[in-house]
Amino acid sequence: MIADMLSGGFTDAPVQSARAFREILEAMARPGTIRRVEGALPPAPLSVAAGVTLLTLCDATTPLHLAGRCGAQAVKDWIAFHIGAPLFDAPDADFALGHWADLQPVNRFRIGQPDYPDRSATLIVERDVLSDDGPALTGPGIQLRTHLNLPEVQAFHANRALFPLGFDTIFTAGNQIACLPRSTRVEVI
């Protein structure tokens, strides 16, 4: 148990976190594109991509909410050792990690304020698979349109209607990530 908590982090943190940050940045700048990340081996049920995302974007000053199975004790111990992020209830978290059903209702997460839209939550949504089929995505960072298998459409329509407020989403599956910023329009064709 203790060995699981101590292992699975970056072995060369400066290099691995820089590479991972670049991949996350590219995914956020080009919504719906699927990118690969590596370097972490978090405990089950977290994916490699979720672990890499946490190691890259969170630290001891980042309020984190763990939902459902992602709140397993092994995950909490791993986060405490490798990241030190404090665990918070949903309304107070900067980041929330879980499967889509466990994160519901998503309107409980911070969406920012008119004078500070950046004070919103980022949802890290674990998926079984990421694929380039599903609803069409348009907006900033997308040349014409792209597609991504989303867990639903309505919540993302409602989130886009709040722009420039709203939450941003990072989808993770295996070693893959894809992002859906609040500025992206989701269309069913």
Tens digits of per-residue pLDDT, 150-182?
999 999 999 999 999 999 999 999 999 999 999
Burial call 108-117: b when 16+ CB within 10 Å, e when fewer: ebbbbeeeee
User: Which of 99, 174, 98 is closest to 130 using CA atoms?
Assistant: 174
CB 165 within 8 A of CB 114: yes
At residue 137, the pLDDT reads: 97
User: Which of 120, 117, 97 is closest to 167 using CA atoms?
Assistant: 120
CA dihedral (186, 159, 174, 90) in degrees, to 10, reads -170
Identify the structural domains of the chain with CATH numbers, from first to last: 2-187 (3.40.50.11310)
Instruction: Check pLDDT > 80 for residue 118.
Output: yes
Instruction: Check pLDDT > 80 for residue 5.
Output: no
Provide mean pLDDT across the span 34-48. Answer: 96
Residues 6+ apart with CB under 8 A from 154: none
At residue 189, the pLDDT reads: 64
CB 84 within 8 A of CB 66: no
- β-bridge mates for residue 173, sequence order: 176
Residue 11 in 3-state DSSP?
A: coil
Instruction: Check pLDDT > 60 for residue 3.
Output: no
pLDDT-based confidence at residue 7 (cuts at 50, 70, 90): confident
At residue 126, the pLDDT reads: 98
The single-letter code of the amino acid at 70 is C
Tens digits of per-residue pLDDT, 121-134?
999 999 999 999 99
pLDDT-based confidence at residue 38 (cuts at 50, 70, 90): very high
Question: Is the model's pTM score more than 0.85?
Answer: yes
